[in-house]
């Protein structure tokens, strides 16, 4: 599983993958690798660089699509039979293969009605999702640093349904046990419901070899809000000071997608989307890292479920599957091929044995019926209507 129903893992020789790679794109500000071939028609809107949707469509060989059901106002669809992108209806919403992403900049519409997508979101969301083998700093994953958020005097969100520090610690320990079975090195930031500073958590992650960082949390909000969300560091904007975590911006969104997809599919959570933010400790990480909101402790139904051992085990298994999916993508020897929809061929119908019809007995020839003679139509004598006859009738 990488992008559900979109990519298949095909372990091929890395040199062969490099030979078949498209020409190198034009240079872009580090660490972003621009996917463009040829000329982007860049426009600036409110100080942000945007690209026409037509550039995006042309480069990724997509076509405009129409929804199967009722058309939703503000939505635009692109696809090629193997992958589908749906922009809208909210200006920052993008769905790729039905997975929700919250963009860094709203999609704009020009005077002609064409959509404009920020260059930042093309480079940092669409590109690493559609072409994960071109992710910057792609390398194998050996260690998973699991961070149960809060702990000790920092209890996190506490509701009648769930206590954040307790729930995430249990899920973290179950996740670590499962990952160890699969051959990963596991490092916990804390194992006994104890407090550790955000920088201390970062230091453990940065000291681990070939690592990824997964911080587990519970969300809070209105009682009707529910679902999982995964955050990674917001990409570097123009004029901002680079942070260590920006070197892993593309791999961060790929990790977020792998974990969120698995949570939605395996743990059956509501899709709250892959999002960007400047949350501590993401800023100082020197490896791909995410903050996972497993669900809402403030939702009576979801909070109660989060406190059950059965669901906690389900969450841990889903997260482990997500780590596996990400590790396959990040392996330099992996070449992901876009998987075409399977062709289901209808087998030809089995030959039907037709028994010969029994020979019919010869019937004696029938005599040709003679046509009936029409009976001669008798004509009544013409009625006399003489004056004498009329007088006779009056007498009667």
Residue range 238-275, pLDDT digits in tens: 889 999 999 999 999 999 999 999 999 999 999 999 99
Q: Residue 240: which of 249, 231, 253 has the closest Cα? A: 249
Domain membership flag for residue 348: no
Domain membership flag for residue 235: yes
pLDDT of amino acid 17: 37
How does residue 381 score in pLDDT terms, banded at 50, 70 and 90? low
Domain membership flag for residue 359: no
Q: What is the pLDDT of residues 8-47, one digit of tens each?
A: 333 333 333 333 333 333 333 344 445 554 578 899 999 9
Give the pTM: 0.77
pLDDT of amino acid 32: 44
pLDDT of amino acid 380: 52
Q: Residue 192: which of 169, 167, 172, 175 has the closest Cα? A: 169
Give the Cα separation of 216 and 171 in Å (integer). 8
Domain membership flag for residue 67: no
Domain count, the chain: 1
Domain membership flag for residue 76: no
For residue 303, the domain's CATH number is 3.40.630.40
Residue 214, pLDDT above cutoff 90:
yes
Domain membership flag for residue 100: no
Domain membership flag for residue 215: yes
pLDDT of amino acid 365: 57
Domain membership flag for residue 396: no
Q: What is the DSSP string of 63-86?
A: EEE--SSSPPTT-EEEE-SS-EEE
Which domain covers residue 303, as residue numbers? 138-334
């Amino acid at each position: 599983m990488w992008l559900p129903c979109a990519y298949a893992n095909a372990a091929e020789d890395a040199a062969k993958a490099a030979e078949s790679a498209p020409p190198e794109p034009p240079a872009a500000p580090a660490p972003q690798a621009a996917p463009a071939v040829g000329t982007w028609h860049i426009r600036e809107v409110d100080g942000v660089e945007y690209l026409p949707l037509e550039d995006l469509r042309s480069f990724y060989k997509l076509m405009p699509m129409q929804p199967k059901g009722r058309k939703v106002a503000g939505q635009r669809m692109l696809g090629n039979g193997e992958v589908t992108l749906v922009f809208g209806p909210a200006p920052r919403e993008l769905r790729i293969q039905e997975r929700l992403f919250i963009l860094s900049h709203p999609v704009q519409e020009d005077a002609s009605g064409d959509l404009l997508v920020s260059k930042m979101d093309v480079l940092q969301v669409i590109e690493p999702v559609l072409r994960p083998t071109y992710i910057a700093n792609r390398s194998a994953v050996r260690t998973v640093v699991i961070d149960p958020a809060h702990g000790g005097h920092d209890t996190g969100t506490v509701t009648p349904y769930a206590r954040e520090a307790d729930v995430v610690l249990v899920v973290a320990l179950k996740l670590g046990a499962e990952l160890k079975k699969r051959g990963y090195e596991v490092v916990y930031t804390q194992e006994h419901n104890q407090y550790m500073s955000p920088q201390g958590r970062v230091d453990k992650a940065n000291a681990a070899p070939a690592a990824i960082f997964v911080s587990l949390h519970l969300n809070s909000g209105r009682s009707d809000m529910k679902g999982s969300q995964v955050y990674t560091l917001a990409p570097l904007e123009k004029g901002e000071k680079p942070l260590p975590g920006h070197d892993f911006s593309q791999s961060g969104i790929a990790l977020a997608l792998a974990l969120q997809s698995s949570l939605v599919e395996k743990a059956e959570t509501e899709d709250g989307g892959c999002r960007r933010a400047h949350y501590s400790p993401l800023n100082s990480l020197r490896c791909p890292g995410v903050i996972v909101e497993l669900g809402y402790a403030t939702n009576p139904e979801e909070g109660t479920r989060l406190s059950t051992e059965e669901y906690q085990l389900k969450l841990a298994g889903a997260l482990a599957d997500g780590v596996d999916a990400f590790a396959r993508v990040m392996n330099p020897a992996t070449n992901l091929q876009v998987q075409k929809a399977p062709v289901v061929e209808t087998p030809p119908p089995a030959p039907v044995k037709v028994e010969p019809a029994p020979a019919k007995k010869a019937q004696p020839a029938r005599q040709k019926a003679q046509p009936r003679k029409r009976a001669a139509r008798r004509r009544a004598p013409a009625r006399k209507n003489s004056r004498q006859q009329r007088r006779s009738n009056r007498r009667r």
